Structure formats: structure tokens, C-alpha cells
């Protein structure tokens, strides 16, 4: 079997140019060369977040960015509404509790998107809510939520709307300012197409007003310090120079391609996966499927954990399985990162081969042919 393929919903395959940048000699973060790069990156990140407000980088994984938003905005005993539709929603709720918030959990059935009307009703009945937390895409179920609709409703209340865009920002359209998002977080190993290690956060003006009086203790993630440093063309702590150099390449490249076309490329990958999966008689798990990752239900007679291992060991394809209540029941295919048509065709072909090894009725060669034809006919 030829090359290994990584189509997980993060970390993702890297552009060859990014791989070269990562191998370059180290430069110091207090040099004119890096100053130029940082300046460009901080400007381009605003474009990436579709905001006029500053976007900050932390040398942390995405969870650090989620924590940053909380510690900058919470005060002791604040009431928080946490929309929980999977593993990452639960994580954010636990974090808020750790920092002393009183968390109201709005549990959504896994695979379904939250009802905007239900959130509106909750906020009407609970006037003390300070923050509303929601994933744009809940990666564990490959489900996207109506962020625009939620922003509309939440912006009419004093509450701030915090969005975990870790599997969304840069993968499909998320307009931070226009959709009235007050805090947005992204992570480098997803649609930013880099290795793990950077998180990105931004606050609206409504959120900055809260940040200036919030009492939650904060040190590393204090955005007031970062704001001051960034205005002076620096990051407050040592910059992750190598990742930021690679980020400069990625952001420039997406700008060259154009957001619209870039998003269409991801939509094409998502559409392809859904279409070819249907040809294999595999159903979607989510009723609100995301363009960044697709979850496919596995036939009950197939153990998803074993299938994933088999795909990995025999066919060199890394996909993700289900987590928690979905363990062994779904397989998740990512659409973010550096993905060529041949990666997509081979992934579906090898998935069919692996399924056939588990006595599933599928013709891998037919799947391979249909895949190639489908992609040829659908260009963006």
C-alpha cells in the first residue's frame, strides 16, 4: 500500500511549503525579520476571523484558547449557559465550573443542532446569564450549529456569546463581527492547517468592556497584556516563531485563493464524502453535518474500534472513531488541511477495502471509479 493518509479532524496534513518552513533554521523573535512577519500575521488574522478587533495568539492548544476566553470574561459566581452537544461542549462547561461559574447545561441530543428558539426562551427566563458557550462545529459528532441565528438572539441580551470555532474558523464561513460573536477561538491543528500548538482568540467591544472589570484571576492568558504588547509589535511572551512563520504562509495562501473559493474547496470535500458514503450505504450520523468533518454511522455488526485499527495498520489511513457514547459506532473523516483529490479517492477506496475485510458488502474498485469520476465532474 502506498502513502499514508491522515484525514482526521485535526491534526491535519500539512502543505509541503509548511513542512519546509518548519525545517528552517531558528530565528529570534526580537528581530526585524520576525517583526515583519508578526505584523503581517496579526493583520491577516483579522481577515481570517472576519473581525475589526485584534486577534491574539497563545502558545497553547485550542483548549488553552477556550480557557483564555473564560478567564478574561468571568467573575466569581457568574451564571453561564453552556450548550452541550458533545465532548467539547462538556469540556467548556467543566472549565467554566472550575473557575467558579454557575453553569446551566443545555443538553442537545448528540448529532442534532441546538434550537435557537430554545436558547432565546432560556435567556428570557434567566436574565442573569453572563456568557453563552457553544461550539460552531462539535467535532465529536461532526455537527454544526446555527451560529448566526444564535448571535442574533444573544446580542439582544446583556450576555456575551462565546464560540468555540476550533473546527470551524477557516473551514467555512464564520463572520465574527457580522454574526455578533463576542469571543471566538480557533486552533492551529485544524482549518489553520498547521501542527498543534497555537490557539487564537478575539473579543468584541462588548466583551472588552466586560474583560476590563472581570475579576477572575488570570496571568498567562491575560489579554490586556497581549493587547499592549501587540500594539508595540510584539507578543507578551516568547513567540512560537516557527509556527507563526508557517502561519504567515497559510494566511497569505488562503488570501490568494480567496475565502469564497477556499470554503468551496472544503464544501466539495464534504459533499464528496457524503455522496460516496451513500454509495457505500453508510449513513450520516449528524442531521446538521459540518463542512469541516463528516461522521458516518457504521453498521451495527462492525466494531468501529477494530475497523479504525485495521484501516490504520493495513491500509495506512488515519481516520477518527467515535468518542464516549459513540465509541465504536461512527467513523469521522476530516476535510481540513492539505488534501488532494488522490487523498480523497484513496481514502474512500481503502475504507471500502477495510469494510470488505469485515464482510461488508461493497465493491472497492467501483467505489474508486465513482470517486474519481465524481471529483472530475465537480470542480471549484
Ligand X SMILES: Cc1ncc(COP(=O)(O)O)c(C=O)c1O
Kindly list the residues in this chain that would bind ligand X in the complex (CB under 6 A): 10, 61-63, 88, 135, 139, 164, 166-167, 187, 196
Tell the smallest beta-carbon distance from residue 49 to ligand X (Å). 16
- Closer Cβ to ligand X, 44 or 135, answer by number: 135
Residue 84's SS3 state is strand
Sheet holding 102-107, edge to edge: 55-58, 199-203, 183-187, 160-164, 129-135, 79-84, 102-107
- Residue 58 C-alpha cell reads as 497563545
- Closer Cβ to ligand X, 202 or 371, answer by number: 202
- Closer Cβ to ligand X, 155 or 196, answer by number: 196
Tell the smallest beta-carbon distance from residue 352 to ligand X (Å). 27
Q: Which residue is nearest to ligand X (CB)?
A: 62
How many whole angstroms separate alpha carbon 93 and alpha carbon 322? 21
Phi, psi of 360 (to 5 degrees): -80, 145
Q: Which residues of 57-89 are buried (b: 16+ CB within 10 A; e: fewer)?
A: bbbbbbbbbbbbbbbbbbeeebbbbbbbbbbbb
Tell the smallest beta-carbon distance from residue 158 to ligand X (Å). 26
Tell the smallest beta-carbon distance from residue 268 to ligand X (Å). 22
Tell the smallest beta-carbon distance from residue 92 to ligand X (Å). 8
How many whole angstroms separate alpha carbon 163 and alpha carbon 3? 36
Asked whether 71 and 216 are in contact (CB, 8 A), the reply is yes
- Closer Cβ to ligand X, 334 or 364, answer by number: 334
- Residue 35 C-alpha cell reads as 517583526
How many whole angstroms separate alpha carbon 214 and alpha carbon 122? 24
- Closer Cβ to ligand X, 168 or 241, answer by number: 168
Tell the smallest beta-carbon distance from residue 316 to ligand X (Å). 22
Asked whether 170 and 194 are in contact (CB, 8 A), the reply is no
- Closer Cβ to ligand X, 73 or 198, answer by number: 198
Tell the smallest beta-carbon distance from residue 165 to ligand X (Å). 8
- Closer Cβ to ligand X, 59 or 61, answer by number: 61
- Residue 216 C-alpha cell reads as 477572575
Amino acid at each position: 500500500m502506498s502513502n499514508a493518509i491522515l484525514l482526521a479532524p485535526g491534526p491535519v496534513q500539512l502543505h509541503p511549503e509548511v513542512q519546509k518552513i518548519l525545517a528552517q533554521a531558528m530565528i529570534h523573535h526580537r528581530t526585524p525579520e520576525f517583526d515583519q512577519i508578526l505584523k503581517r500575521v496579526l493583520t491577516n488574522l483579522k481577515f481570517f476571523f472576519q473581525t475589526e478587533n485584534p486577534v491574539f495568539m497563545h502558545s497553547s492548544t485550542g483548549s488553552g484558547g477556550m480557557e483564555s476566553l473564560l478567564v478574561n470574561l468571568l467573575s466569581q459566581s457568574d451564571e453561564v449557559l453552556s450548550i452541550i452537544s458533545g465532548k467539547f461542549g462538556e469540556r467548556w462547561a467543566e472549565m467554566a465550573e472550575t473557575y467558579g461559574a454557575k453553569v446551566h447545561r443545555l443538553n442537545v441530543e448528540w448529532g442534532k443542532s441546538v434550537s435557537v428558539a430554545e436558547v432565546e426562551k432560556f435567556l428570557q427566563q434567566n436574565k442573569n446569564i453572563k456568557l453563552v458557550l457553544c461550539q460552531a462545529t462539535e467535532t465529536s459528532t461532526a455537527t454544526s450549529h446555527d451560529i448566526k441565528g444564535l448571535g442574533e438572539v444573544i446580542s439582544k441580551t446583556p450576555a456575551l456569546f462565546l464560540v468555540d470555532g476550533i473546527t470551524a474558523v477557516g473551514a467555512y464561513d464564520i463572520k465574527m463581527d457580522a454574526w455578533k460573536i463576542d469571543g471566538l477561538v480557533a486552533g492551529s491543528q485544524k482549518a489553520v492547517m498547521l501542527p498543534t500548538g497555537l490557539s487564537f482568540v478575539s473579543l468584541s467591544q462588548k466583551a472588552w468592556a466586560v474583560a476590563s472589570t472581570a475579576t477572575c484571576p488570570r496571568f498567562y492568558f491575560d489579554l490586556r497584556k497581549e493587547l499592549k504588547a501587540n500594539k508595540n509589535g510584539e507578543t507578551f511572551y516568547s513567540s512560537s516563531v516557527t509556527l507563526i512563520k508557517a502561519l504567515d504562509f497559510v494566511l497569505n495562501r488562503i488570501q490568494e485563493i480567496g475565502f469564497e473559493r477556499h470554503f468551496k474547496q472544503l464544501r466539495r470535500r464534504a459533499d464528496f464524502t457524503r455522496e460516496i458514503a451513500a454509495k457505500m450505504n453508510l449513513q450520516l450520523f449528524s442531521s446538521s453535518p459540518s463542512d469541516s468533518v463528516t461522521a458516518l454511522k457504521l453498521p451495527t455488526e462492525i466494531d468501529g474500534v477494530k475497523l479504525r485499527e485495521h484501516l490504520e495498520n493495513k491500509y495506512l489511513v488515519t481516520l477518527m472513531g467515535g468518542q464516549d457514547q459513540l465509541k465504536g459506532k461512527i467513523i469521522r473523516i476530516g476535510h481540513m488541511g492539505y488534501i488532494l483529490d488522490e487523498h480523497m479517492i484513496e481514502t474512500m477506496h481503502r475504507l471500502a477495502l477495510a469494510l470488505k475485510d469485515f464482510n461488508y458488502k461493497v465493491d472497492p474498485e467501483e467505489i474508486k471509479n465513482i470517486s474519481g469520476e465524481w471529483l472530475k465532474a465537480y470542480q471549484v
